[in-house]
Amino acid sequence: MADKVLMKGNEALAEAAIKAGCRHYFGYPITPQTEVAAYMAKRMPKIGGTFLQAESEIAAINMVYGVAAAGKRVMTSSSSPGISLKGEGISYLAGSDLPALIVNVQRGGPGLGGIQPSQSDYFQATRGGGHGDYHMIVLAPASVQEMAELTVLGFELADTYRMPAMVLADGTMGQMMEPVSLDFAVSPAPEKPWATTGTKMAREHNIVNSLFLTPEELEQLNFTRYERYQAIEANETRYEEYMTEDADIILAAFGIAARVSRTAVNEARKQGIKVGLIRPITLWPFPYAPFAKAAEHAKAFISVELNMGQMIEDVRLAISCKAPVTLCNRAGGMIPSPGQVLEAIQKADGGVSK
Amino acid sequence: MTVFEKPHAMTDVPMHYCPGCTHGIVHRLVAEVIDELGIEGRTIGIAPVGCAVMAYDYFNCDMIEAAHGRAPAVATGVKRADPENHVVFTYQGDGDLASIGTAETVHAAARNENITVIFINNAIYGMTGGQMAPTSLPGQVTQTSPYGRDPKLCGYPVKICEMLSTLDGAEYLERVAVNNVANIRKAKKAIKKAFQNQLDGKGFSLVEVLSSCPTNWGMTPQKALQWIDEKMIPYYPLGVYKDRSAAKEEA
Amino acid sequence: MSMKRFLFSGFGGQGILFAGKLLAYKGLMEDKQVSWLPSYGPEMRGGTASCSVIISDEPVGSPIVAEPDILVAMNLPSLDRYESAVQPGGMIFVDSSLVERKVQRDDVQVYYVPATKLAGDNDMPTLANIILMGKILKVLDEYEESSIGAALQKVISARHADMLDVNRKALEIGANA
């Protein structure tokens, strides 16, 4: 434990990005992620990096696009309304096959919404957010340690698959302090022969571009990109199971909702209810397999979310409607209590016993 | 004997520009300057959205296609990725730079971002077929101002050089035209200075090039060049709007 | 102890978050599982500030403390708001120099500490929070000199190292109050 320090999630994430070799950060202030920018503003000048407060989230994501095109690890962070503004740039990153890390420390919406924790950008993150056929790798931390580790993983996967990755956190993950160890391995960025770093008069010019006016060509590019996505679905799906083996009831929850759910599972187990938790760590690709497997014995599923029910659609898809799926939720910046989740479990258990 | 040839920094790809369009001239001027300064191997160009969207095919240096209006932000990223080695220019039209990308333009200038901006002002949206631009003249008929641009209805044209010259950050702002040989020579000089400034680490340099769009103006190429003289230059006077280093030397 | 859930609450500027941080670090020094979660938002600017701290032998589930085992109320609005939320059999620590009323419940242990007055009397006007912390640790039988000292060194930045001794003294004053 000696190497552990207490850090806010936002700060642990920022330091982990630096550990991952990110030396370029572009952002714009918005609660509750501003600590990321503040941390970068302090650290980057000391290590020869670039921190730049952009004139807007739109400018920030396009600065990210520029550094990514030049082949370096780069990131931006924001919170929900700001991520909407970045949607255009994210689509261009995906369309130009550029790696970059985008952090969304979610707050309640829609519109200006509020500043308290939320998970209501699940659809936006997992279905794209910007226009066109594309995906981002979406990572959902449930602890300060994961805020750090999934940030590193985000950079690595983005580089490996040449695509944007997102850390989808929420206000509690950003603001919470927990012991964290930053003593972990980082794979260096791979060679990027496609990057626009100047031809040095030694090769053909590289072009970073998402415009393809010939539909046949654009279709083929989409096909190729989706083959890559299939490889990611096969190789990079991550999740955690907790007490699922004998479970009659399965909770589905990510991020802070998974923390609350875990407490509720412990309470319910004390009451003799067989309940378990599947916590997706990658939201895209979504871990369909463990849910399908659980559906072989589980009789009810509960999706615990800080929104009006978004991930629940993936849970239903995953189990092919073999069992009822109910929603246990709060919205607008409210967080379900372990008691609320326990009640949902008890209610489901009543149904199961009958 | 000198034989006329393409600058090395230009590819041998046939351009898609309309007959009489001056984009080709400005592309060539930029390419000549890149050749003369010997910087092709470390230059990265940023293409806009607009008629010049496919500029990435016409320059031999590395090229990036940006989202509409965002070229100065993309250029900021590329420049800061390797400020010592990268030479970065954007090539943007009036809709891109002075309408949808106004914020990116103004703030890149305010930061004195060490980049070169080539700004094509032809007072119209070309690629989408001749709609009103932020720089369309009062009274100018376009597809979206069919009765002539009425300032009471849609405001006055944006004068980029004048506007940016109020910013302490901007290093060098000059407006040129490419409607005759003398003006083209001056334009090349300005473009070269805008690149040289970047090499000297002086900062944000923008050259506004008054250009013609015979197709969407509904004129012959010759008439269009005349129109620059008669209509555009009186509204957008040519000249240096800011030259911070020169001003310092004089002081 | 398997798990203790603390809720610190008071005015912004009373060192609510700092006190919570000290406790969390002490837990970390003792190899416990800990979490610290502040309220954030406009109420941080002069209104009510609060923070949740959990110290546990098991991994911490939800870091949100809605029903604390131990409530620390450094002003009246905090007591008004959270008194009823405390677990039966729990504890409430009150800064009695700022909160004039008594706790209404009889199913909790209550400790009144005139922390702000003690801080003023001892020429450490900003350390009422630490004085209260001394009392809390004493009552919980958690007054471990070594881990408290180590935790203090962690939360007090090197820039303010000269504040270490006065903080130690504040803890002592609280422990004996």
What is the average per-residue pLDDT within B43-65? 97
If one counts every other C-beta atom within 10 angstroms of the C-beta of residue A347, the result is 15
Task: Give the number of other Cβ atoms within 10 Å of residue C34's Cβ.
Answer: 24
B108 within some domain: yes
| Residue B3 neighbours by CB under 8 Å, 6+ apart | none
H helix runs in chain B, sequence order: 23-37, 71-81, 94-95, 102-110, 151-154, 160-164, 181-199, 214-217, 221-227, 233-235, 244-250
Closest CA to A158 of A93, A241, A243: A93
pLDDT attached to residue C46? 58
Distance from CA of B61 to the nearest CA of A (A): 5
Confidence of residue A2 (pLDDT cuts 50, 70, 90): very low
**Composition of chain A by helix, strand, coil, percent to 5:** 40, 20, 40
Cβ-defined contact of C63 to A116 (cutoff 8 Å):
no
* Sign of torsion over alpha carbons A143, A124, A278, A286: negative
Tokens coding A61 = 């994501």
B64 and A72 within 8 Å at the Cβ level: the answer is no
SS3 A278: strand
Cα–Cα dist A340/A260, whole Å = 10
Kindly report the nearest CA distance between residue A98 and chain C, in angstroms.
35
Distances from the Cα of B103 to the Cα of A60, A102, B115, C75, C109, angstroms: 12, 22, 16, 47, 60
Tokens matching residue A191: 């060679």
pTM attached to this predicted model? 0.93
Q: Is the pLDDT of residue A91 over 70?
A: yes
Domains for chain A: give ranges and CATH numbers: 5-192+209-235 (3.40.50.970), 240-353 (3.40.50.920)
Q: Which residues of A touch C36 (CB under 8 A)?
A: 6, 176-178
> Does the CB of B67 have a partner CB in chain A at under 8 Å?
yes
Angle between helices B71-81 and B102-110 (to 10 degrees): 40
Angle between helix C16-29 and helix C145-155 axes, rounded to 10 deg: 130
Q: What is the pLDDT of residues A100-113, one digit of tens each?
A: 999 999 999 999 99
Q: Kind and range of the H or E element at C106?
A: none
Q: Do A65 and B66 touch (CB under 8 A)?
A: yes
**Residue type at position B98:** A
pLDDT for residue C45: 54
- H-helix or E-strand containing B21? none
Distance of CA B123 to the CA centre of its chain: 12
- Just give the CATH number of C3-175: 3.40.920.10
* Residues B239, C19: Cα–Cα separation, whole Å: 64
Q: DSSP secondary structure string, A165-225?
A: EEEEEEHHHHH-EEEE------PPPPP-TTS-S--TTSSPPPEE------HHHHHHHHHHH
State the distance between the two ends of chain A, measured CA to CA, in whole angstroms.
48
Domain of B40, in residue numbers: 23-250
Interface of A with C (CB under 8 A): 1, 4-6, 31-32, 115-116, 171-172, 175-179, 256, 259-260, 262-264, 266, 335, 337-338
- Give mean pLDDT, residues B41-46: 98
Q: How many helices and strands, by DSSP H and E, does chain C display?
A: 6, 6
Token pair 């709609």 in the structure block, residue = B131
What pLDDT score was predicted for residue C158? 77
**Dist CA C68 CA C86 (whole Å):** 5
pLDDT number for residue B63: 98
Domain assignment present for residue B7? The answer is: no
CA gap B227, B177 in Å, rounded: 12
Asked if the model's pLDDT at residue B142 lies above 70, the reply is yes
- Per-window interface: B 80-119 vs A, CB < 8 A: 80-82, 85-87, 103-104, 106-107
| Cα–Cα dist A150/A53, whole Å | 24
Alpha carbons A151 and A162: distance in angstroms, whole number: 16
- Chain A residue numbers with beta carbons less than 8 Å from the beta carbon of C26 are none
Chain A nearest CA to B223, separation (Å): 32
SS3 content of chain C, % helix, strand, coil (to 5): 40, 20, 35
What are the distances in angstroms from CA A192 to CA A74, C162, C176?
A: 14, 50, 65
Q: How far is the C-alpha of C133 from the C-alpha of A116, rounded, in Å?
A: 28
- B13 at interface of A, judged by CB pairs closer than 8 A: no
Range B44-50 average pLDDT = 97
Question: What is the distance between the alpha carbons of residues C128 and C134, in angstroms, rounded to a whole number?
Answer: 10
CB-CB neighbors (< 8 A) of A199 in chain B: 40-41, 60-62
B178 belongs to a structural domain: yes
Q: Give the sheet arrangement for strand B43-47, strand by strand.
A: A207-208, B62-65, B43-47, B87-93, B116-121, B205-210, B172-177, B239-243
Interchain proximity A176–C37, CB inside 8 Å: yes
Average pLDDT, chain A: 96
Give the pLDDT of chain C (177 residues) as one tens digit per residue.
489 999 999 988 899 999 999 999 999 999 999 999 998 765 445 567 899 999 999 999 999 999 999 999 999 999 999 999 999 999 999 999 999 999 999 999 999 999 999 999 999 999 999 999 999 999 999 888 888 989 999 899 878 888 999 999 999 999 998
A to B contact (≥3 Cβ pairs closer than 8 Å): yes
Q: Is the dihedral of CA B2, B3, B4, B7 positive or negative?
A: negative
Q: Which of B222, B16, B217 is nearest to B129 (CA)?
A: B217
DSSP state of B10: B
Mean pLDDT of B7-18: 95
Compute CA distances C161 → C15, C24, C157, whole Å. Answer: 17, 19, 6
Cβ(B149)–Cβ(B227) under 8 Å? Answer: no
Size of interface A-B (CB pairs under 8 A): 137
The answer to whether residue B98 is domain-embedded is yes
CA distance C125 to chain A (A): 27
CA atoms lying within 13 Å on the CB side of residue C55 = 22
Query: Do B63 and A208 count as a contact with CB atoms less than 8 A apart?
Result: yes
Asked, for residue B11, whether it belongs to a domain, the answer is: no
**Residue A250 CB partners (closer than 8 Å, separation 6+):** A244, A275, A276, A277, A278, A291, A294, A298, A300, A301, A302
Which residues does chain B have within 8 Å of residue A164's beta carbon, measured at their own beta carbons? Answer: none
**Assigned domain for B1 exists:** no
Q: Which chain C residue's Cα is nearest to A114? A: C41
Find residue C111's DSSP bridge partners: C93
> What residue segments make up the domains of chain C, in order of their start?
3-175
DSSP string, A96-145: TT--EEEEEEEB--STT--SSB--TTHHHHHS-SSSSS---EEE---SHH
Cβ atoms of C122 and C172 within 8 Å: the answer is no
Q: What is the pLDDT of residue A294?
A: 97
Find chains touching chain A: ≥3 CB pairs under 8 Å: B, C
- The yes-or-no verdict on residue A65 having pLDDT over 50 is yes
A164 interfacial to chain B (CB closer than 8 Å): no
Whichever domain contains B93, its CATH number is 3.40.50.970
pLDDT tier at B3, thresholds 50, 70, 90: confident
Mean pLDDT of B200-225: 97
Would you call the peptide bond into B151 cis, given omega within 30 degrees of 0 as the criterion? no
pLDDT band at A352 (very low <50, low <70, confident <90, very high): low
Cβ contact, residue pair B80, A67, below 8 Å: yes
Report residue A85: phi and psi, to 5°. -65, -30
Helices and strands in chain A, H and E counts: 12, 15
CB interface of C with A, residues 102-161, below 8 Å: 154
% residues pLDDT > 70 (chain B): 100
- pLDDT exceeds cutoff 90 at B1: no
Decide if pLDDT at B251 tops 80.
no
Residue B42 has pLDDT above 60, yes or no: yes
Q: Which two tokens stand for residue B5?
A: 């040839």
A274 CA: distance to closest CA in chain C (Å) = 18
Residue B121 — left, alpha, or beta (φ > 0 → left; ψ -120 to 50 → alpha)? Answer: beta
**Domain count for chain B:** 1
Q: What is the predicted pLDDT for the residue at A1?
A: 43
Question: What is the per-residue pLDDT for A3?
Answer: 78
CB contact under 8 A, A66 and B78: yes
**Looking at the domain assignment, is residue B101 inside a domain?**
yes
**Among all residues of chain B, which has the CA nearest to that of A202?**
B41
Domain-located, residue B88: yes
Q: Per-residue pLDDT for B33 more than 90?
A: yes
- A218-272, pLDDT tens digit by residue? 999 999 999 999 999 999 999 999 999 999 999 999 999 999 999 999 999 999 9
Across the interface, do A74 and B77 touch by the CB < 8 Å criterion? yes
Q: What is the pLDDT of residue B2?
A: 78
Mean pLDDT within A322-330: 97
Q: State yes or no: ipTM above 0.85.
A: yes
Single out the residue of C168, C172, C174, C144 nearest to residue C155, CA to CA.
C168
- Contact of B70 with chain A, judged by CB distance below 8 Å, is answered with yes
Nearest Cα of chain B lies from the Cα of A55 at a distance, in angstroms, of 7
